[in-house]
Copies of this chain bind each other. A is one copy, B any other.
Amino acid sequence: MDSKTVGILGGGQLGLMLVEAANRLNVKTVILDAEGAPAKRINASEAHINGSFKDAEGVSKLASKADVLTIEIEHVNTEILSDLQKKNDKIAIHPSPETIKIIQDKYTQKEYLIENNVAVAESIAVENTIDGIKNAGSILGYPFLLKARNNAYDGRGNFVVKSEASVVEAQAALGANTALYGEKFVPFVKELAVMVVKDIKGDVYAYPTVETIHTDNICHIVYAPARVPDSTQLRASLLAQDAVKCFPKGAGIFGVEMFLLNDGQLLVNEIAPRPHNSGHYTIDACVTSQFEALIRAVTGLPLPKGFSSFSTPSTNAIMLNVLGADEPDGELEYCKRALETPGASVYLYGKSSRPKRKVGHINIVGSSLDECQRRLDYILGKSLSLEDVTQASKPPAGTSTKPLVGVIMGSDSDLPVMSEGCNILKKFGVPFEVTIVSAHRTPHRMSKYAIEAPHRGVKVIIAGAGGAAHLPGMVASMTPLPVVGVPVKGSRLDGVDSLYSIVQMPRGIPVATVAINNSTNAALLAIRILGAYDNKYHKLMQEYAIDLENQVTAKAEKLETVGYENY
């Protein structure tokens, strides 16, 4: 596709996935890393360089074989890259060595972001002495975070200093020769992240805002999109884009990690100037993965244009990191369950397994995050039955997990009316569920409910609604099941509005409408529908009819016996 060769500093799993993306575009890649690095495995080239990505000679060799250099790890020697850039103006380096230099020292990064008005947690430089650390504690207050300025990853280089008593332990943990900084402890409620691509012209493109769950400081699970309101997702995306825009020019992809505080405030935690673990979900949930986006950005190939280029309105995904288990290959259990699970894809990196080592990841996509979560639970061994997972959806909470009748209403204010019908269903021993589905306030939930109900074994839906009362008709239009509509009387118009709305359906989509507020009849009608095929309910309905008859004849007898004046 492009005649440029991309030289990559580092050949771990991020390099591996970069090479994979480049291969598909006929973009040649050369790797600088130790022999046998994962990225070399899928690239049968004689050109690879064995050595460290920190080493001047290796970098210069790599540059001689490439038109563009990029990185899959930020712990590179930026002096070497800057020198190279000065000596050789034919080589393009993305992101720019200046940007990498600012970012790789996490305290410099923080200072730079503050200068550019990007919100971050309060941070100060810390002298690596007991007194220096204590001094930081008195400024930032306890607990605070003591961090190594350089070479930190996956929680290494971070220490939570709980009180002055743990200062000695903190220094020992981070090392007496490590450059340090201190960060005010931020009581965040969630961690969010956004991948931002910057092209050669400086335009930025954001992937959806995701939520990251860390366990033991290692990224464990990513939810895409983040389980926060749309407005918070949007604010996070804008903050991430602003953060990336402020760095010196040069293309690249940036993983921007943020804290969401209790009061809704967002702070940038840290930025990685390369593909990032929080963006692995993009391989399955987005048309263009973070890896392909970087390859395109650094080679100047076009990126997709226009609204929602990097996502679809239906992006719902969870990423699970596969970490080496304590027993050899124990992590493959998760992978095998993932292979059985619809919507799940397994990515292994060809790395030997060691406890807690990132050896792969699993992407799960689904029609909702709930569905993804159920699939994740199965993969994690929390749910015993694959059947539960492969069902279209779990039933909403109600009286039965295998309901035959679904009772739904537009609002909880309809419940007093609808519960009469529920009592009838209960009396007849019909398995049913009850929930609130609003046509107007939750249109997509309604559509999901209507579409999934038959797959869950529901045979009849009873829908109650008041006022404009669109629920029964709309549900009927999205399911082939029989729908019984109960007009619920509002405080005005006496329920005639709901009656008209429910009963006056157009030819083609019938709603079995019962009388205003008469959910009893709706339930009885539902049982008659079940009884048409299930003899049990047929018999019960016959008995019920006889019972009714007996009641009336008893009354008739009484009336005839005592006379109308004495009745």
Of the stretches A73-81, A252-260, A345-353, the one at the interface is: A345-353
Query: Chain B contacts of A387 at CB under 8 A?
Result: 306
Report, as a range, how many residues of chain A touch the other chain: 35 or more
Is the CB of A40 closer than 8 A to any CB of chain B?
Answer: yes
Is the CB of A166 closer than 8 A to any CB of chain B?
Answer: no
Query: Chain B contacts of A508 at CB under 8 A?
Result: 440-441
Q: Are A348 and B392 in contact (CB under 8 A)?
A: no
Q: Are B468 and A307 in contact (CB under 8 A)?
A: no
- Assuming the contacts A301-B336, A500-B468, asked whether A342 and B42 have C-beta atoms less than 8 A apart, the reply is no
**Of all chain B residues, which has the CB nearest A3?**
B329
The listed residue (B305, B438, B455, B473) touching A468 by CB distance below 8 A is B473
Q: Are B504 and A497 in contact (CB under 8 A)?
A: yes
Query: Chain B contacts of A43 at CB under 8 A?
Result: 41-42, 44
Q: Are A296 and B339 in contact (CB under 8 A)?
A: yes
Say how many copies of this protein the assembly contains. 2
Of the stretches A19-27, A52-60, A147-155, A525-533, the one at the interface is: A19-27
The listed residue (B26, B339, B470, B477) touching A501 by CB distance below 8 A is B470
| Most chain B beta-carbon neighbours within 10 Å: one of A303, A313, A470, A498 | A470
Query: Chain B contacts of A342 at CB under 8 A?
Result: 287, 304-309
What is the bound-complex CA distance between A314 and B302, given in angstroms?
27
What is the bound-complex CA distance between A386 and B307, given in angstroms?
12
Q: What's the nearest-Cβ distance from chain B to residue A107, in Å?
A: 38
Q: Are B476 and A305 in contact (CB under 8 A)?
A: no
Is the CB of A9 closer than 8 A to any CB of chain B?
Answer: no
Q: Are A307 and B501 in contact (CB under 8 A)?
A: no
Is the CB of A458 closer than 8 A to any CB of chain B?
Answer: no
Query: Chain B contacts of A303 at CB under 8 A?
Result: 339-340
Q: Are A302 and B42 in contact (CB under 8 A)?
A: no
Interface string of A501-529 (1 = CB under 8 A from B): 11111101100000000000000000000
Query: Chain B contacts of A344 at CB under 8 A?
Result: 287, 304
| Closest CB pairs A-B (n = 7) | A306-B390, A497-B500, A467-B504, A440-B477, A501-B501, A26-B348, A302-B339
Contacts from A to B (Cβ < 8 Å) = 1, 20, 23-26, 40-45, 284, 287-288, 296, 301-309, 312-314, 332, 335-336, 339-350, 360, 365, 367, 386-387, 389-392, 410-411, 438-441, 443-444, 447, 451, 455, 467-470, 473-474, 476-478, 490, 493, 496-498, 500-506, 508-509
